[in-house]
Amino acid sequence: MKRHLALAFAVILWAPSLLLAQGSLTPPGAPAPSMKTLDQVEPRTAVTSLPLTITQGGCYYLTKSFAQSFAADALTIEADNVTVDFCGFTIQQTSATASIVGVRIEPLTAGSPLRNAVLRNGTIAGFAAVGITCLGGRNCLIENFAVMGCAGGGIAFQAFGTVGAAGNTFRRCRTNDNLGGSGIVLLSGAANVGNVIENCESLNNTTGFALAAGGNLIIGCRTSGNANNYSIGIGNRGGVIVLPGTNASSINGSSGGTAITTDPFANLSF
């Protein structure tokens, strides 16, 4: 009897050890990375040399600044849905070659709009023509950009054939010392509408901001030292939160502001 009790007790003590048995104690190896790289999250293409023509949509980024004598436009965008992040770098022309621009945004075919081009976080300098030009751009964005020392002007958007420049935004841009043109200009044309210039600064250009066409909006912008600070055509809007009525007459001002008799928007400063 005692022998049977001892055997039963031994089984009770031994059984839990089987239930709690562990696997191999040998480590499986070094842990694998659990996070995706930036290129996996947002595939991007490095821009390592210029001039460059972009013919496919996607995200691109500059890897350095470029200061050289460009014999062709430094950067050309010919496709929809292209984003170029300058990452704080500069494209600088070192020779005064006429008609060469820093960035050209233009579809291959006249009559077709180019949509959703984005330029951000950089500087264009020293071009004999305009710094950034766009023909027929739709819903494009230029933000956190500086354009300086370009003889043809800073940033120019206009129609391409029958396709107007519409729905574009210029945000936190600074244009200075572009002595042959405007800091930012929207050229004439009934289809150049719905564009917004906000929180931008224009210094020491021929004209600060020029909105030749109507139906656009300028918000919280500052000019100083331009031969003509503002040239805003009839039918544009201004305001910070509430949009007032369109201006009934053109606004034109010299660098001293003496030619401006009224500022109906109360959001433009000198």
Domain boundaries of the chain, sorted by first residue: 38-254
Residue 107 near residue 158 (C-beta atoms within 8 A)? no
Confidence of residue 26 (pLDDT cuts 50, 70, 90): low
Percent with pLDDT over 70 in the chain: 72
Candidate CATH numbers 3.30.70, 1.20.120, 2.60.40, 2.160.20; the one for domain 38-254: 2.160.20
Residue with tokens 């305009």: 130
Residue 224 is predicted with a pLDDT of 84
Residue 247 is predicted with a pLDDT of 60
The count of C-alpha atoms lying within 13 angstroms of the C-alpha of 251, restricted to the half-sphere facing its C-beta, is 25
Residue 228 is predicted with a pLDDT of 84
Percent with pLDDT over 90 in the chain: 52
Residues 218-256 have pLDDT tens digits of 888 888 888 888 888 777 765 443 334 566 556 665 444
Cα(199)–Cα(26) distance, integer angstroms: 62
The one-letter code for the residue type at 30 is A
Measured torsion, CA atoms of residues 191, 195, 200, 202, in degrees rounded to the nearest 10: 0
Cα(91)–Cα(108) distance, integer angstroms: 23
Q: Is the pLDDT of residue 258 over 50?
A: no
Range among 4-8, 25-29, 36-40, 43-47 with highest mean pLDDT value: 43-47
Range among 38-42, 81-85, 187-191 with highest mean pLDDT value: 81-85
Cα–Cα distances (Å) from 263 to 41, 134, 146, 188, 246, in that order, read 47, 29, 26, 22, 12
Q: Is the pLDDT of residue 180 over 70?
A: yes
Residue 39 is predicted with a pLDDT of 60
Q: Is the pLDDT of residue 98 over 90?
A: no
Confidence of residue 188 (pLDDT cuts 50, 70, 90): confident
Q: 3-state secondary structure string, the chain?
A: CHHHHHHHHHHHHHHHHHHCCCCCCCCCCCCCCCCCCHHHHCCEEEECCCCEEECCCEEEEECCCEEECCCCCCEEECCCCEEEECCCCEEEECCCCCCCCCEEECCCCCCCCEECCEEEEEEEECCCCCCEEEECEECCEEEEEEEECCCCCCEEEECECCECCECCEEECCEEECCCCCEEEEECCCCCCCCCEEECCEEECCCEEEEECCCCCEEECCEEECCCEEEEECCCCEECCCCCCCCCCCCEEEECCCCCCCCCCCCCCEC
Residue 122 is predicted with a pLDDT of 98
Residues 99-122 have pLDDT tens digits of 999 999 999 887 889 999 999 999
Dihedrals phi, psi of 138, to nearest 5 degrees: -125, 125
Residue 161 is predicted with a pLDDT of 86
Answer whether 0.75 is exceeded by the pTM: yes
Residue 166 is predicted with a pLDDT of 94
Residues 125-149 have pLDDT tens digits of 999 999 999 999 999 999 999 999 9
